Structure 1
Amino acid sequence: MTAEGRAPDHYQTLGVDYGASREEIEEAYHELARKLHPDVTGDDPELTARYMAVNEAYRILFKATEREDYDRSIGIEEPVEQRSGSTKARVAQSAPDSPAQDMRLLDARLRKTIRESSRLCGKGSYWEATRILEKYLKTHPENAGLRKALAEAALGRKSYHEAVNHMKVACRVEYHDPENFVMLASIYVEAGQLVLAEKALLEALGWNAEHEGALRLRKRIREIRDEEKPSIQKIFGRISRVLKR
């Protein structure tokens, strides 16, 4: 129970809608758990308490039977697939609005927008993906997921400098995630900046020396360098032409 005597709203804790699918709940949980894990936040008691609340919310909402019991306890009777805005409004009657609640709802909308941007990028609509994402930069400037989605859209537009800048923010925010550094390295490779790509891969491999994506990309960089080297035959050909002069 909360300090006001209400059961905690696990949906708000994870920042998902009341009709969220198991996939959306799992995605929200992993994103929050990465940011709030004690290995990242240290001994901050407030963040540790929030991390525990996130784990409890995930435990209840991810398991169908426990979710049904919990939903009934907060006044939700409709099946998940039939829920709508009226469900949210009814549950909200027992929980006054707050800036934190507003931000969690905004987080849920952002996650949906990121999924939509990924779909648009898959269709080649990179400018449209950028447009729907950029409106969240003012409210979520340090959101790694938003920055990665913007980097993907920028890369599709061949705007390498923009893509790199977004990924640098993602790497700073989630510095412990090697995937971010691999994505940054791949952008550098696309831009032909192999030295910078190798530096980013060193960061990734520093977190996980067996990271398959990082190892594959490092191998690809070596292949590119080999392709750029003059062949032995060309070298001998040049020497032969010089000697004949």
Structure 2
Amino acid sequence: PSVFAEVTANTTVGSAWETLSFDLTAFGGFSTANTYDRVIVFPNFGTGGADNFYYFDNIAIAGVTTAPAIPVDFESGIIDYGIFSFGASDFGPIPADIITNPDQSGINMSPKVLEVVKSSGAQVWAGAGFALAGPINFSSSTTMSVKVWTPSSGTPILLKIEDSTSPPDANGNPSVFAEVTASTTVGSAWETLNFDLTNFGAFNPANTYDRVIVFPNFGTGGSGNSYYFDDIQLTN
């Protein structure tokens, strides 16, 4: 192709991983208006082959982040998931972050998951969530599924979606929302829970729901247990 851009960078270590940056503006013919749709790497460029191996990973646009969109699997290294939490004993945030999957087994072998720790003394309504890049499109389904890991069976999980731009209610939360509860049927193992949003009377698929929140062991105060979530998506 006659439209391209290329930049060279040299490694500074051997037999170890490092991150190289390539400033495309250093190439005179580069234009952000072009439709670049192919990436090629040339290892040890300019030198003939000698049966050496070279490894590449995590090719990304540095410094560019965006919010997630459904489906959410917590695997991207460049998406800003912006995890927030609330409901600690002092009404501050509870521990919540994306971590390495502590139980890669069964239906969930993925490397990364969302951990929510319902710390000791946390409020019965403690939870965590994240904003989406845009509203959820319910044209294909009005049921959401989530892979969940809880320490015991019979644990109620409340899934809530909100329109973050709607007027606040008396508690300061968005007044346009939908929430549905489902309970786990196994303990210390992954399972998929389905949340049929039509079970919530005020649910309207035309609303601009752009925030997702999970409430682990909803209705019970915290005792320091960890709960894990993954693969939040629409399902039939």
TM range (shorter): under 0.3
**Could you say which structure has the higher helix fraction?**
1
Higher relative contact order (CA 8 A, sep 6+): 2
Larger Rg: 1
* TM-score normalized with structure 1 length: 0.23
**Could you say which structure has the higher strand fraction?**
2
